[in-house]
Structure 1
Amino acid sequence: MNTKELAKMINDRHFFNLKKMQYKYSPESVMEMLETLMEMSYAQIALNDFNGQCCVYLPIQSLIPTSVMKKLLTSNTSKELFGLKAMEEEIDFTLQIENIQSNRDSVRKILQGFAPNNEEESRILNMKKGLEFIGDPTNKITEENLHYLYKLSVENFLEGDDKLPEGSFYRNDTVYIVGDKPYHEGLNPKLLPKYMAELVRFANQKDEIPELAKACMLHFSIAYLHPYFDGNGRTARLLHLWYLVQQGFSSTLFYAFSKHINNSKNKYYSSFLDIEENYKISKLLDITPFIRYFNEYVYSKIDAASGVVPVYEIFTQAMRDGKITEKERDLWNFVLSAYGDGQFSTKQLEKDFGNAAYATIRSFVLKFQELGLLASQRFGNRVKYSIKN
């Protein structure tokens, strides 16, 4: 294939839809393009398709903006494992993605430490425990820990045939992913122990794959293998976050990934379908469409969010200079965790924090506004504060 024709096909907007590419350029041209890319551009990864062939991706098509990496890598100043506001949204939206009923007030209540009153709130509590588990960097990704995370956050609320066999880490029967019709059959259950061991090994091995792209690969792999009867999506999204925490992206749990996935749910599912449909033509399990989905619909939204990271250096310097008291430090940590990039009033902060007089709260917000850590916005006679971008 000549260079001009190859470039034209690679830059075609339907490049990741091989069926449309065949129609436009001919099946022979598409196969020639794939053979060329296999020689020149595709990178193999240490994960296999169901036939035992290495999965691949296109590094040049999977570039992660450095601004996103810096945002997630920069240490947050909160002592908490995760941001309450962000994880309130994470829990609510990860359940919405799978059409599981949740109530935002119940999520907020459980995250604030109240006991559950019903099954829905007990489910939320277990999701909270799951986030606490993956937020602790000492909890490494192992098969045992993945099984524990699954049971903790998902399986305790499954019944009957949806539960795993006693003593087993993975399902022992066939499972299908269904939409309007069945479109994917999970891996043969007899092969799951081998493939899941490979997945965990891949998660822990050192390689040249950018961490945010590799997190997508792990996420995709859980959905592809479908190791459980139910809860694979929730587990895949938790593993995505867990891997990033393990790799030192300490601000990961201060952003609600599932909020952005839910807002682009059709694109999320269609990226899985694109990979499946392309595989039928190419016989290559190319994960690039899923990485590109995350780049466009999730990582880019995190990049655009104000978040908690930009003020880190200002706060750290003020602490070094002795400008911040211990009580003010505790209030700041609470604001980071409880409100994220949302707004709050002095009255709301006084009520939510629960361990400071109103005069202390008032002094805190005015001082931190002067330091450049908080911004204010007036609504009539009321003033709302937020972390400054």
Structure 2
Amino acid sequence: EDNEIVITDGMEGNIVHHPPCYTQLESRLRLICDFANTHHTGENETIFIHPIIKGIILHFMMGYEHPFADGNGRTARALFYWFMLKSKYDYFEYISISKLLKEAPVQYGKSFLYSEVDNNDVTYFIYYQVDIIRRAIDELLNYLQIKSREFEEITTLLHGSSIGDKLNFIQKDIIKKAIKHPGRSFIANEVAVDYDISANTARKYLNELSQSKALVSYKNGRTTMYIAPENLYDILRR
């Protein structure tokens, strides 16, 4: 309930942004909500704003208002993600812009500052965020390519083994993790959560892997643990 919240440059303590007066905060946040929930599809005489651009603008608006003593950046990015998912851009669930923004906090801050000093021309911020999104998508695609190659390698290895044709996708993925992390332990409840299956089904899959010597099972109290053997790669090549 005061105007003490300011943004500094983080180095010399110079103030680079004064958020709007706190007495206007409630009405200004209501305007953000109204903007977020107004359709901008270009239909019925409405203006068209591309959903990604609108999400970026919402990100900027919340950052500009800076209503909290802490967590404003997280809130602004959460608002962006919310709008992307609301607009059916479901793949944003797997895209991390926060990681890239945190890697270059100075550039992130400047994208706000350049917009503000140029009469709140949000173009600067939009350009920067679009570039961040593009890079985040590239990182996701690279990650998927790596995981795809890893799975193909495991599939090729299993194809020549005696158990390869007996395994389903989940069991093959468990073996991939086991090869990558010898000594790793698996339990039915964790596998059930990871693959969205029942605990009984997870236990069945793990028992089958244990019977095939791909995992080693032992009792830890009332829980059955399944351990990735050190020589799993050699076992599968037999």
> Where on the TM-score scale, by shorter chain, does this alignment land: which range?
0.5 to 0.7
How does the TM-score come out when normalised to structure 2? 0.59
How far apart, in 2, do the equivalents of 1:230 and 1:206 lie? 30
User: Is the 1:260–1:298 contact (alpha carbons within 8 Å) kept by the matching residues of 2?
Assistant: no
Q: Equivalent residue for 2:71?
A: 231
User: Judging changes above 3 Å, is the alpha-carbon distance between structure 1 residues 243 and 362 closer, same or farther for their aligned structure 2 residues?
Assistant: farther
Q: Any conservation in 1 of the 2:25–2:65 contact (CA below 8 Å)?
A: yes
Partners in 1 of 2:139 and 2:28 — Cα distance? 36
* Distance across 2 between alignment mates of 1:361 and 1:224: 57
Q: Is 1:259 the equivalent of 2:67?
A: no
**Equivalent position to 1:288, from 113, 123, 141:** 123
Kindly provide the CA deviation profile for residues 233-266 of structure 1, in whole angstroms up to 9, marking residues without a partner as x.
1111111111111111222222222111112222
SS at match of 1:251: helix
Equivalent pair of 1:241/1:252 in contact (CA under 8 Å):
yes
* Structure 1 unaligned regions, length at least 5: 1-171, 280-284, 312-326, 336-342, 364-380, 384-389
User: Where do residues 32-181 of structure 1 align in structure 2 (5 Å cutoff)?
Assistant: 172-174=1-3, 175-179=5-9, 180=12, 181=14
Corresponding residue for residue 299 of structure 1: 134
SS at match of 2:90: coil
Structure 1 residue 273: Cα displacement: 1.4
Shift in alpha-carbon separation, 1:245–1:271, aligned structure 2, 3 A: same
**Of 172, 190, 205, which aligns to 2:23?**
190
Aligned equivalents of 2:211, 2:114: Cα separation in 1 = 54
CA distance in 1, matches of 2:79, 2:89: 14
Identity among equivalent positions (%) equals: 25
Cα shift at 1:201: 0.9
Q: How many residues align?
A: 167
- C-alpha distance in 1 between matches for 2:211 and 2:38: 50
Please state whether the residue corresponding to 2:16 is helix, strand or coil. Answer: strand
Who is 2:227 aligned against? none
Relative contact order, higher structure (CA 8 A, sep 6+): 1
Partners of 1:184 and 1:195 lie apart in 2 by 17
CA shift, 1:214, in A, is 1.1
> How far is 1:358 from its partner?
6.4
Tell me if the contact between 1:350 and 1:358 (Cα under 8 Å) persists in the aligned partners: no
Provide the C-alpha distance between the structure 2 equivalents of 1:252 and 1:243, rounded to a whole number of angstroms.
10
Identify the residue that residue 153 of structure 1 maps to in structure 2.
none
Moved more, 247-256 or 184-193: 247-256
SS at match of 1:183: strand
Distance 1:209 1:269 in 2: 24
Query: Do the aligned residues in 2 keep the contact of 1:275 with 1:286 (CA within 8 Å)?
Result: yes
The Cα of 1:360 is off from its aligned counterpart by 4.4
1:286 deviates by: 0.9
Residue matched to 1:220:
60
Q: Return the letter of the residue paired with 2:191.
A: F
The Cα of 1:222 is off from its aligned counterpart by: 0.9
Query: Could you tell me which amino acid in structure 2 is paired with residue 353 of structure 1?
Result: V
TM-score between the two structures when normalised by the length of structure 1: 0.37
Shift in alpha-carbon separation, 1:304–1:227, aligned structure 2, 3 A: same
Q: 1:185 to 1:247 in 2, by over 3 A?
A: same
CA distance in 2, matches of 1:194, 1:258: 28
Secondary structure of 1:214's aligned partner: helix
Instruction: Letter of the 2:77 partner, please give it.
Output: R
Q: Indicate how the Cα distance of structure 1 residues 308 and 226 shifts in structure 2: closer, same or farther if over 3 A, else same.
A: same
Deviates more, 1:348-357 or 1:294-303: 348-357
Structure 2 letter corresponding to 1:268: Y
Structure 2 unaligned regions, length at least 5: 41-47, 149-166, 193-201, 213-230, 234-238
* 1:193-212: CA deviation from partner (whole Å, max 9, x where unpaired): 11111101111111111111
Cα distance change of structure 1 residues 350 and 213 upon mapping to structure 2, 3 Å threshold: same
Taking only aligned residues, the RMSD between alpha carbons, in angstroms, comes to: 3.5
Q: Who is 1:353 aligned against?
A: 191
Partner letter of residue 2 of structure 2? D
Counterpart among 18, 21, 34 of residue 201 in structure 1: 34
C-alpha separation in 2, matches of 1:232 and 1:186: 12
Structure with max Cα Rg? 2
